[in-house]
Amino acid sequence: MIRSFSYLLLLILCLRSEQLFAEERIIEGKLLQFGRMLGTGNEFIQVLSNDLSPELSRLHNQTIRVLCQMRGENCDPIRYETYPFSESKGLADWTLKRIPNYVNRGYFAFNPTVTPDGRSIFWTVYSSKGKSGTQRIWFAEKDDKGFWRDGKEMPAPLNNDLNSAVIAVLPSNNELFVFGSFGDDEASRKIQFEFQDKREELRRNTRDEMEFRLKEEQLAYEYLRKMNNLQNKATVPLYKSYKEKGNWSYPKAINFPDFANLYLKNNTSVFGGSTLSSSGRILIYSVQQPDSHGKLDLYVSIQKDDGSFGIGKNLGEIVNTSSEETAPFLAGDDRTLYFCSDGHKGLSVYVTKRIGEGWDNWTKPVEVSANLKGVNFFSIPVNSDWAYVSKEGQLYMAYLPRDFRPNPVVVINGKVLDEEGNPLGAEIHYESLTRLEKRGSAKSDSKTGSFSLVLPYGEKYGFYAEKQGHLSVSRNIDLTDSKQEDAKLDVEFRLPALAVGRQVLLNNLFFETNKFEISKDSEPELDRLANFLKSNPKLKISVEGHTDNIGKKEHNQELSQNRAKAVADYLISKHGIEDTRVRTQGFGDSQPISSNDNASDRQKNRRVVLQIVD
């Protein structure tokens, strides 16, 4: 008996060891014998049966790339993709590639919305419920080898008993723009807390477990009806949800007061979808308004400084027809717009480009491809060769011809940390220093400190990170010379604590050579500094000027002092900051932070520093 038990333990340990140390291997080859064999050209590998077997059997004679858990010489398939692979180049225009069936579990899927980095995808599943149905949000992520993982249904609160859909994901991947009916956030929390209190009271007063379960079910049904009634009262179907400590927040309606009248016209929802720019400030939506050319037209609304959206402006008769324009998607360049229409050449996907700086002048829409007829949604990651589309309830990728791709952009991947290197959840804002206009904002992840921005070419940008209890830190990048290729830039913000002795560089303060006049593109930086001082009325600061070692020391000393004084004068004269709160000092070239051996290092030494002194 003991010996048999020992053998059993040994067998279990061997099996567990095989599972722990089985090699993972990526194999490319042709599926043979209805998915039971993989031919690589050099060898034939048996494919073991598992949950993937039914769909692999339907890919007979197709070339796939598969992630295998190797069981000896055999492949236990984990994930796969069909040819052409996502890294393939030089394919025929608009080649369609189906996303594996295991991702969407065979459900009727549409409205793919891919994150700007291409690492996650959200889509909508039509789910039957009795004689009716509902639309629910699903998502999937890529593993570190580039394969899509199994899709999953999003949990509450993003899914409820009513229709829900993700419309856009902002670049940091922690803000979702959502369509749905969620009711008032505060009222929803009140109902949830009330249910919990009633449930705990029921538990205290009910001794019999069966009786408790029955009454708990009745209570849950009662409060579910209250939640549904609340959600049915929602008037604006457009919401934002934020990722907080790994979970998505309860969706909050965007501030769009005029939209309710359009959406609930005569108690009938007339809405053809919407898209949000990567900055979060440009909203393009499909709806019927009094000035519409057809049944559904595309409109644009630009977010105001108070965070609200006003009634949209018609994109014009070049884009809009007497029929329906729906499902818009604005690419990261803020110029290339894809949409569906049945009024140009029949139902298909079309593309148009924005001309100039306004939003009412567009190129004539062009059908992207006859191969995409029947496609009704469109989404493109930044810097990608592929678009994500849906057709007849399936998710696909479509290879983008160069002429139909968005303009190149620069992706800023950053981190916000404190002085010790701990991640901070901060607000990141960016603006055009060329036009002195706000461009957008993002939030850094509180767990990792990471964030991303997508910046189109053609302007000089300033961007900065701020968090309560810390000094704000700024950066800038000059993209006025348009390039013909996408680019990425890594940045790091270290935010000093708000304490005496802490200092930061005023990185977005600019002077002409050997001059000390404040330039126009420096004003946003100094205006923020003034607002910071007004928000902290007891703080006193020192503004310190520094130069490189080119020229005479006396001249450099005077120049550095004059630049520091110019900053103080701006704060005092324009914003009314008391002169007793702003000290100035010039150090000339006496305190370099880098060598003066080359132009780049000399530029680092030419700086103005802000220090808290009291």
The model's confidence at residue 370, banded by pLDDT at 50, 70 and 90, is: confident
Rounded to whole angstroms, how far apart are CA atoms 344 and 322?
A: 9
- In this prediction, residue 223 carries a pLDDT of 65
- Please state which architecture CATH assigns to domain 96-181+237-404: 6 Propeller (2.120)
- How far is residue 147 CA from its own chain's centroid? 20
For 171-194, how does the pLDDT look when each residue is reduced to its tens digit (9 = 90+)? 999 999 999 888 655 566 667 777
The model's confidence at residue 128, banded by pLDDT at 50, 70 and 90, is: confident
For 551-569, how does the pLDDT look when each residue is reduced to its tens digit (9 = 90+)? 999 999 999 999 999 999 9
Task: Please state whether the peptide bond connecting residue 592 to the residue before it is cis, i.e. omega within 30 degrees of 0.
Answer: no
How many percent of the chain have pLDDT more than 70? 90
Taking alpha carbons only, the member of 490, 322, 315, 511 closest to residue 414 is: 490
Domains of the chain, residue spans? 22-82, 96-181+237-404, 183-233, 408-497, 499-614
Residue with tokens 């048999």: 4
The model's confidence at residue 122, banded by pLDDT at 50, 70 and 90, is: very high
Average pLDDT, stretch 362-384?
A: 88
Residue with tokens 């994109």: 315
Q: Which long-range contacts (CB under 8 A, 24 or more apart) does 71-74 make?
A: 71/18, 71/22, 73/45, 73/46, 74/45, 74/46, 74/47, 74/48
Answer whether 452's CB lies under 8 Å from 487's CB: no
Classify residue 325 as exposed, middle or buried by CB count within 10 Å of its CB (0-12, 13-18, 19+).
buried
Amino acid identity for residue 167 in this structure: I
Answer whether 152's CB lies under 8 Å from 138's CB: yes
pLDDT: is 279 or 216 the higher one? Answer: 279
Answer whether 115's CB lies under 8 Å from 182's CB: no
Neighbours of 22 (CB within 10 A): 14
The model's confidence at residue 16, banded by pLDDT at 50, 70 and 90, is: very low
pLDDT: is 13 or 553 the higher one? Answer: 553
Lowest mean pLDDT among 148-152, 219-223, 476-480, 568-572: 219-223
Q: Which residues contact 231 (CB under 8 A, 6 or more apart)?
A: 160, 161, 162, 181, 182, 183
Edge-first strand order for the sheet with 96-98 is 96-98, 394-399, 386-391, 377-379
Task: Give me 90's structure tokens.
Answer: 């030089």
Average pLDDT, stretch 527-542?
A: 95
Write down the pTM of the prediction. Answer: 0.84
From the options 3.30.1390.20, 3.30.1330.60, 2.60.40.1120, 1.10.3720.10, give the CATH code of 499-614. Answer: 3.30.1330.60
From the options 3.40.1280.10, 3.40.50.720, 2.60.40.1120, 3.40.50.970, give the CATH code of 408-497. Answer: 2.60.40.1120
For 37-86, how does the pLDDT look when each residue is reduced to its tens digit (9 = 90+)? 999 988 999 999 999 999 999 999 999 999 999 999 999 999 999 999 99
Q: Is the pLDDT of residue 112 over 50?
A: yes
How many percent of the chain have pLDDT more than 90? 69
Q: Is the pLDDT of residue 406 over 90?
A: yes
Taking alpha carbons only, the member of 134, 117, 174 closest to residue 449 is: 174
Answer whether 24's CB lies under 8 Å from 69's CB: yes
